[in-house]
């Protein structure tokens, strides 16, 4: 959640009193418009507060000012809330009040993603090195846990398992994606890739993600895998007709109808 500094002295500050007098409104109302403008700026302006080619009307609308936009911008500029130069306009001292905060938020977010992905990689590498007494049996069912609540509703692939086996632990698809990415690219994947891989396993289940990535030789971004899995899930909603055995009464009846149709066609 984004936020900005708001000092209690703003209510009686000379800039506030001057702008309110020019606009002929109470200072408390001006404070409301200023905060709405600043909140909008957090999401829409660069860290230096540059207003670029925004018109007076667009800036006034961002502050929810419904009267004369020119008067509003003139009052904020005269009071010092907006710095006006021959070529550009900007919010006064915006970088000091919000730009630095935005930079710190972006850096903290990147550190969080990086730490999380590094933890996934470290745990996966550590567990991969552990000895195991499990024997891999080709084309045999396993008791591996899958998240049935999020598993995709389509028939699993009948392709043989991959030649490289991974330990069955909670590191999951994201850990395998990190390892394959490093093998292919020689470096750690971006933190956003790891986060996307985690979200993919959450939505489709571990086995479906492994299977889809393996079919594409682990060379595709998790979001590309998501599109393919979503398409398969939609296609699986139209069920194929059941295959009837030779002794099934419905199969016998169908054969009789086919024979009668052929006899009628030959006559």
Q: Hey, is 83 helix, strand or coil?
A: strand
Distance CA 267, CA 262 (A): 9
Picking from 86, 76, 89, the residue whose alpha carbon sits closest to that of residue 23 is: 76
Are 150 and 207 in contact by the 8 Å Cβ rule? The answer is no
Are 201 and 229 in contact by the 8 Å Cβ rule? The answer is no
Are 19 and 75 in contact by the 8 Å Cβ rule? The answer is yes
Distance CA 241, CA 6 (A): 66
Query: Which architecture, in CATH terms, is 9-92?
Result: Orthogonal Bundle (1.10)
User: Per-10-residue mean pLDDT for the chain, 267 residues long?
Assistant: 77 94 95 94 86 94 95 95 90 78 61 62 55 49 49 43 42 80 83 83 86 88 90 70 63 68 62
pLDDT number for residue 3: 66
Distance CA 171, CA 24 (A): 63
Q: How far is CA 204 from the centre of its chain?
A: 15
pTM: 0.41
Q: What is the DSSP letter of 96?
A: I
Picking from 127, 164, 139, 148, the residue whose alpha carbon sits closest to that of residue 206 is: 148
Distance CA 241, CA 77 (A): 73
Q: How many CB atoms lie within 10 A of CB 197?
A: 28
pLDDT number for residue 159: 41
pLDDT number for residue 151: 46
So where are the chain's domains? Answer: 9-92, 115-130+146-157+164-236
pLDDT number for residue 109: 59
């Amino acid at each position: 959640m984004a936020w900005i500094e708001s000092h209690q002295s703003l209510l009686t500050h000379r800039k506030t009193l001057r702008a309110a007098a020019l606009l002929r409104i109470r200072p408390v109302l001006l404070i409301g418009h200023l905060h709405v403008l600043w909140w909008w700026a957090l999401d829409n302006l660069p860290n230096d507060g540059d207003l670029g080619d925004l018109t007076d009307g667009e800036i006034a609308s961002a502050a929810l000012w419904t009267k004369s936009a020119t008067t509003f911008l003139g009052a904020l500029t005269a009071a010092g809330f907006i710095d006006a130069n021959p070529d550009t306009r900007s919010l006064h001292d915006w970088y000091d009040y919000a730009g630095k905060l935005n930079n710190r938020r972006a850096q903290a977010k990147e550190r969080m993603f990086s730490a999380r992905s590094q933890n996934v990689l470290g745990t996966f590498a550590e567990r991969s090195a552990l000895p195991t007494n499990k024997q891999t049996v080709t084309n045999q069912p396993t008791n591996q846990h899958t998240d049935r609540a999020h598993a995709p509703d389509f028939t699993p692939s009948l392709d043989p398992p991959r030649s490289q086996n991974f330990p069955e632990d909670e590191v999951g698809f994201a850990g395998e994606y990190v390892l394959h990415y490093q093998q292919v690219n020689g470096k750690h994947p971006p933190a956003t890739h790891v986060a996307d891989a985690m979200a993919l396993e959450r939505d489709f289940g571990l086995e479906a993600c492994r299977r889809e990535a393996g079919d594409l030789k682990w060379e595709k971004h998790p979001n590309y895998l998501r599109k393919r899995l979503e398409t398969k899930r939609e296609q699986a909603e139209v069920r194929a007709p059941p295959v009837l055995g030779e002794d099934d009464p419905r199969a016998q009846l169908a054969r009789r109808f086919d024979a009668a149709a052929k006899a009628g066609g030959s006559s």
